[in-house]
Amino acid sequence: MSEVTPAPPGPAIPLTALLGREDLGLRLLAGPSGVDLHWVHTSEMADPFPYLLGGELLMTAGVQLTDPERYVARVAAAGAAALGFGVAPVYEAVPGELVAACERHGLPLLEVPPRTPFTAVGRAVWRLMAEARHRELRRVTEAQQSLATAAARPDPVPAVLHALASRLGGRAALYAPDGTEHAAAGPAPEPEAAAALARLARLPHEGSRPASAADTVAGSHLAAYALGGGQGLVLGLATGRREPGDHTVAGVAVVLLSLLTAPHQGADEAARSAALVRLLLGAAPGEAAPLLGEAPWTVVHARGEGAAPPLGTPLVDARDDGTVRALLPAGRAVAPHPGWTLGVSAPAGPDGLGAADLQAARALRRAQAAHRPLVRHRAGGLGALVDPDEAAAYARELLAPLTEPLRETLRAWLSLHGSWDRTATALGVHRNTVRQRIARCGEALGVDLDEAEVRMELWFALRWPE
């Protein structure tokens, strides 16, 4: 049994989007069409229940289908989103008992024609997920830029609320600690939802990280986020729909509003706020560097599928090529995230952010090449650019034919630039002994020790820690 993936590889896609692919020729025979798909899984087991995660499109040709009622009941109980049944070679048509069972259990049943392989369906689902993820990242990036632009206007708080309400398609309001509205933008929700949002706004309390609460009332999706800054203000949102990326967009608004509403903001804090806004607007790091102060920062580059890694910073840039870049304080921990590959720079001051960005990009490329979830930049010359585990393994394999005395002689000889006399003195042996041992090293390794490249590679291997 394969390891259970803890998170979907991408945003869920509606079943209707898959049915709309004319090249697949899928047909809905039973159940509702308004469901979302998170996975694709193929199984010919009589009871696939133990291997289903929930939310998947289960594909089968009915090889071991003996009891359609029990089969559908178990698939539905496992939380599968839909069932795809391949016609031929086992069945010439989808069994009527299976259609009836799916209708009774409310499980969508798709007929997969003989000309459509299951792999084509799976590939179509992953492509639709990738497109949805790209739209989500683009939407978040555009929203960040819009909010940052609003924060730079003469009357920033109403401007940010208006931009947020427009981007999320609902109501955005600031609430005082007693639940009264301090400022708002966007159409007001139904009275029942408005009252529930005011109550919800009294729940979060300021802490080391902004607290939040959520609810759904009268068809409105409600959320409340506590602002920092000691004011006790809470951002309340009421939207008619909830889309991927909404929480990230709201997080950016929380940071900006916290900065804008913070009391008695000093000159240094005002400069940091301006720098954050400039970075969110896409300014080059060097342009904003003078405003950031001397605190060290870390740059993270990431690529992957599904929800972005929780880096704990609103300074995130989702690029068109699928790379996510983030800027966060150097002391904040960065951990691997399922489905994502991360490259982390060394800590850098404001004037070194450009170099740190390049370090993170190189670290991400090394992580992808080595199939590792996270790689950090390492300083220290060319040797630091080599993966330590792979280098150690190569060194062991390369030097395996040499005994320890031969290795020690070779190490001393290379360190003394091939001098027979100085090597003999260092080891306390006769110079002819050194010559014999070095000759044996060349024979055992099958190399010409007069070659500079050979010496360089052996010196690197001998100095690499076990």
Average pLDDT over residues 52-63: 92
Distance CA 241, CA 191 (A): 18
Is the distance from CB of 110 to CB of 28 less than 8 angstroms?
yes
Closest CA to 233 of 171, 160, 174: 174
Q: What is the pLDDT of residue 272?
A: 55
Is the distance from CB of 408 to CB of 440 less than 8 angstroms?
no
Q: What is the pLDDT of residue 153?
A: 78
Structure tokens that stand for 54 in this block? 């929930």
User: Where are the alpha helices (H) located in 400-451, listed in sequence order?
Assistant: 404-415, 420-427, 431-445
From-to residues of CATH 3.30.450.30 in the chain:
153-263
Is the distance from CB of 72 to CB of 83 less than 8 angstroms?
yes
Q: What is the pLDDT of residues 331-362, one digit of tens each?
A: 777 888 888 899 999 888 777 777 888 888 88
Residue 283's Cβ-count burial label (10 Å; 0-12, 13-18, 19+) is: middle
Q: Which CATH class is domain 153-263?
A: alpha beta
Instruction: For domain 13-127, give the CATH number.
Output: 3.40.1390.20
pLDDT at 15 over 70: yes
Cis peptide before 117 (omega within 30 of 0): no
Coil vs helix vs strand at 209:
coil
Q: What is the pLDDT of residues 128-149, one digit of tens each?
A: 988 888 888 888 888 888 888 8
Give Cα 356 to chain centroid, integer Å: 20
Mean pLDDT of all residues belonging to the chain: 82
Phi-psi region for residue 106, left (φ > 0), alpha (ψ -120 to 50) or beta?
left
Structure tokens that stand for 59 in this block? 């594909």
Q: In what helix (H) or strand (E) does residue 137 lie, and over which residues does it extend?
A: helix 118-151
Pairing of strands 109-112, 82-86: parallel
Q: What is the pLDDT of residues 260-305, one digit of tens each?
A: 876 544 545 555 555 555 555 566 655 555 555 556 888 999 988 7
Q: Which residue has the tokens 């002391």?
A: 331
Is the distance from CB of 56 to CB of 30 less than 8 angstroms?
no
Is the distance from CB of 111 to CB of 82 less than 8 angstroms?
no
Other CB atoms within a 10 A radius of the CB of residue 152 amount to: 16
From-to residues of CATH 1.10.10.2840 in the chain:
388-463
More confident residue, 90 or 7: 90
From-to residues of CATH 3.40.1390.20 in the chain:
13-127
Q: Which CATH number fits domain 388-463: 1.20.1560.10, 3.20.20.70, 1.10.10.2840, 3.20.20.240?
A: 1.10.10.2840
Contacts with 387 (C-beta within 8 Å, 6 or more apart), sequence order: 366, 370
Contacts with 128 (C-beta within 8 Å, 6 or more apart), sequence order: 13, 17, 18
Distance CA 272, CA 280 (A): 12
Closest CA to 60 of 87, 28, 22: 87
Structure tokens that stand for 61 in this block? 């040709």
Model confidence band, residue 5 (pLDDT cutoffs 50, 70, 90):
very low
Is the distance from CB of 128 to CB of 17 less than 8 angstroms?
yes
